[in-house]
Amino acid sequence: MADIRVLRPHNVSRPAEVEPAGAGEAIAILACVRARSVVFALPVLAAVLAGFSFAPSLGRTGGGQPGTQSAAGVRLLKLGTFAQPTFLTSPPGDRRRRFVTERAGRIRIVQGSKKLRRPFLDITDRVQTGGESGLLSMAFAPDFARSRRYYVYYVDNGGSLAVDGFRASAKAPNRTQPGSRRKVIREPHSRGNHKGGQIQFGRDGKLYIGFGDGGGSGDPDENGQDLSQRLGKLLRISPRPRGGYRIPRDNPFVGRSGARGEIFAYGLRNPYRFSFDRLTGALTVGDVGQDAREEIDFVPAVRRVRRPRGGVNFGWSAFEGSRRYSSRPAPGHLPPVLERTHAAGSCSITGGYVIRDRSLGSLYGAYVYGDLCDSRLRVARLRKGGARGDRALGPRVSTLVSFGEDGRGRVHAISLEGAIFRLAPK
């Protein structure tokens, strides 16, 4: 609990805009997003009882000054301010538009540099926003230009993990076609934490979904290593246009008795953010730790199939990072390539992207990531078996909830407090 002082927002670009109430709310939200343990849930509860709400008031636009921060080689260009933004992405090849999910259930479009007034989607009536819940990410189908299909990941009003598909309007491309919603997947999830949150299409054209282990502390349901459960897993599916999904025949556990065919990788605690290298198809996962160790996992792509090998066991809850956590078996588990300890100021890792923006020069090919508490952006070179050159990049983004990559491969850093920044050359 003593750590709560490090949770104070300290976005150096806009210090004057951080008011005490905002700080308190940020702490509550921050703590809820990470809520790793019962111990840490106490300050969350205290903050909530003290009257802080989860209303999207943190995303107020303030003076609208375009803030910038810089460090050697890179600076942060402010894209805009949103209401508790959680993710950013673009349709494949779309060089003009960036789509931002807002936690309450809206998707905003930034066209060029202009934020459009009308949301692309509004499902606020379906989305639960307490704890670690909300509209948490979205993904455009690889053939979006033709099919106009896209997908969203949210926590529904019953607390279940939900992925739905929608279609953009044919006549009004910045609007969603009314009545186009199709359920893709639902997973009951009764606890307030470890709601997962990421969907991404791989270079193999399949939709990958990251589900948390079911919440609580220490994987009480022992889902992580249980192949009969979808919680604590990375899933790989082919959504059907009319709803539901197909299980790809080359998934690793198809045909294995007692295992779910949707599972692509397992042994995950809360893979809140994962991504694919847009050049190679390699997988990186930021798996949020328990009480001591945050981790980045890396699985290189198999060139022929444009995806990582399937069936990898990431170790939870036998291992937290590279350390033994319980006596549970974890056959063949793959240790992380990078770990950050809580002793060093981390609390909840925010997985990012392998940078493929050539304008960033020597950062090309480096992996950028961060942490919800330690606001420093970090970079490292990931490779099979380890990482090298792990260092703080310089700029800070407080309450760093996510990164996002646009249609040009430009990487953005997102503060749940409202601001989104693009990593730009100095």
Which H or E element spans position 38? helix 38-49
- The residue written with tokens 């050159």 in the block is 389
- Phi and psi, residue 129, nearest 5°: -120, 5
Of 140 and 314, CB closest to Ca ion: 314
232 binds Ca ion (CB under 5 A): no
Question: In this structure, which amino acid lies at residue 1?
Answer: M
52 vs 314, beta carbon nearer Ca ion: 314
Among 56, 192, 310, 315, binds Ca ion (CB under 5 A): 315
Considering beta carbons, is residue 43 or 315 the nearer one to Ca ion? 315
379-418 binders of Ca ion (CB under 5 A): none
Lay out the sheet containing 283-287: strands in order across: 273-276, 283-287, 293-299, 338-341
Residues 152, 154, 159, CA angle at the centre, nearest 5°? 155
Among the residue ranges 21-29, 75-83, 108-116, 308-316, the one whose residues contact Ca ion (CB under 5 A): 308-316
Q: How far is the CB of 322 from Ca ion (least distance, A)?
A: 8
Q: How many angstroms separate the CA atoms of 178 and 169, rounded? A: 8
**Burial of residue 172 (number of CB atoms within 10 Å: 0-12, 13-18, 19+):** exposed
How far apart are CB 325 and Ca ion at their closest, in Å?
9
Other C-beta atoms within 10 Å of 389: how many? 10
Residues 17-48: b if buried by 16+ CB within 10 A, e if exposed: bbeeebbebbbbbbbbbbbbeeebbebbeebb
Please name every residue paired with 156 in a beta bridge, in sequence order, or none if there are none.
127
Closer CB to Ca ion, residue 314 or residue 353?
Answer: 314
For Ca ion, the closer CB: 266 or 314? 314
Q: Which range of residues in 10-18, 95-103, 310-318, 398-406 is near Ca ion by CB under 5 A?
A: 310-318
Window of 37-45, 204-212, 311-319, 350-358 that interacts with Ca ion by CB under 5 A: 311-319
CB of 233: closest distance to Ca ion in angstroms?
Answer: 13
Looking at residue 290, the DSSP 8-state letter turns out to be S
Burial of 326 (0-12, 13-18, 19+ CB in 10 A): middle
Number of amino acids touching Ca ion (CB under 5 A):
2
Cβ proximity to Ca ion, 248 vs 321, nearer residue: 321
Q: Does 314 interact with Ca ion (rule: CB under 5 A)?
A: yes
Binding segment for Ca ion (CB under 5 A), chosen from 48-56, 89-97, 145-153, 313-321, is 313-321
Least distance from Ca ion to the Cβ atom of residue 189, Å: 20
CB of 296 to Ca ion, least distance (A): 10
The least CB distance from residue 122 to Ca ion, in Å, is 37
Q: CB atoms < 10 A from the CB of 315, how many?
A: 29
User: CB of residue 323 vs Ca ion: minimum separation in angstroms?
Assistant: 10
| Single-letter code of the amino acid located at 234 | L
Amino acid letter, 5: R
Q: Which is nearer to Ca ion, 387 or 397 (CB)?
A: 387
Q: Does 272 bind Ca ion (CB under 5 A)?
A: no
Binding site residues, Ca ion, CB under 5 A: 314-315
